[in-house]
């Protein structure tokens, strides 16, 4: 029964636009808990103090959903082939070209949970898309959706790393999938290419406090002068470690209409970005993940690149 249901569930997820689905048995993440504690102790979370909170919830899905038996993880492709047209324009990470993935994917998870309840009756379940203390990458690795690369992103051997991760924790018991091997080998391209030295050779290990994505999105205060001249013209997020990853030669364009780029983002020149007003910001990014950094944050980032 559970295998048949699992197969149908994966088919439904594919119909919804998820590239792949994996299943793991719910339980404490003991190894990952030790690694997280060490990462926090090193201060690699920077000013993201929320990473210190809810440690037990973060490392045990049964604390988030009492009675949880399965953790389902999903890959949602966002790979964009279109680029910003002005080579001198400040850059946005490609995941932010379209609508905010949080809302797009959360709707898919809600639909999937409703479908499951129609199939098996009432169940306990919660869907997560960066919305709670869930270690998505650990679960994606456990469920065989890829391995955690040296840049700490999930890498799928046939499709690369341009994916959003989503998690559904439920008290429904399903047959677990099997983890796959790490195929990064001796490659160090992401480590060598990172302009701020955020990726450690002893990895997979990231000093988030040096990551351009952290500096341009998570950090709410002034960007430290130590990063002057090292931002590679990124004003929101960064794609460098993905652009240089050999596995991303297998990336395919996404098929999600909501992730289609806003043409204004692609057309904006360097001058357009430097002169952007708050009204224009609100209009272009009203349904975008870029809202997270706010107008003041984006202006701060653009000004830092100009200095």
Where in the sequence numbering do the catalytic residues fall? Answer: 130
Exposed (0-12), middle (13-18) or buried (19+): which is 171, by Cβ within 10 Å? middle
The CA-CA-CA angle for residues 259, 263, 266, to 5°, reads 100
- Tokens representing 111 are 């639909």
CA gap 212, 217 in Å, rounded: 8
Bridge pairing between strands 234-236 and 91-92: parallel
CA gap 103, 256 in Å, rounded: 13
Q: Do 57 and 131 touch, CB atoms closer than 8 A? A: no
- Tokens representing 244 are 């240089």
Give all strands (DSSP E) within 185-281, no chain letters: 234-236
Q: Look at residues 85, 83, 136 and name the one whose alpha carbon lies nearest to residue 253.
A: 83
Q: Give, as one character, the DSSP assignment of residue 71.
A: E
Q: Do 246 and 189 touch, CB atoms closer than 8 A? A: yes
- Tokens representing 217 are 């999105």
Name the phi and psi angles at 156, rounded to 5. Answer: -95, 130
């Amino acid at each position: 029964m559970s295998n048949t249901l699992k197969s149908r569930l994966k088919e439904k997820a594919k119909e919804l636009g998820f590239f792949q689905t994996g299943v793991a048995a719910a339980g404490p993440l003991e190894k990952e808990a030790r690694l997280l504690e060490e990462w926090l102790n090193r201060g690699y979370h920077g000013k993201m103090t929320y990473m210190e909170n809810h440690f037990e919830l973060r490392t045990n899905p049964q604390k988030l959903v009492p009675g949880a038996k399965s953790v389902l993880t999903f890959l949602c492709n966002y790979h964009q082939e279109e680029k910003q047209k002005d080579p001198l324009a400040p850059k946005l990470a490609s995941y932010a070209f379209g609508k905010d993935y949080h809302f797009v994917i959360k709707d898919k998870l809600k639909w999937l949970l409703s479908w499951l309840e129609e199939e098996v009756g009432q169940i306990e379940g919660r869907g997560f898309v960066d919305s709670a203390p869930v270690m998505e990458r650990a679960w994606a690795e456990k469920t065989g959706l890829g391995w955690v690369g040296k840049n700490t992103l999930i890498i799928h051997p046939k499709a690369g790393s341009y994916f959003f991760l989503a998690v559904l924790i439920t008290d429904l018991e399903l047959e677990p999938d099997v983890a796959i091997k790490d195929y990064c080998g001796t490659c160090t391209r992401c480590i060598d290419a990172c302009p701020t030295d955020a990726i450690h050779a002893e990895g997979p290990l990231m000093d988030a406090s040096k990551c351009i994505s952290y500096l341009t999105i998570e950090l709410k205060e002034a960007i430290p002068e130590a990063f002057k001249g090292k931002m590679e013209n990124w004003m929101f997020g960064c794609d460098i470690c993905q652009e240089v990853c050999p596995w991303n030669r297998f990336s395919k364009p996404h098929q999600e209409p909501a992730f289609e780029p806003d043409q204004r983002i692609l057309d904006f020149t360097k001058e357009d970005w430097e002169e952007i007003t708050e009204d224009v910001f609100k209009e272009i990014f009203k349904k975008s993940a870029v809202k997270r950094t706010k107008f003041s944050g984006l202006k701060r980032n653009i000004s830092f690149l100009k200095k």
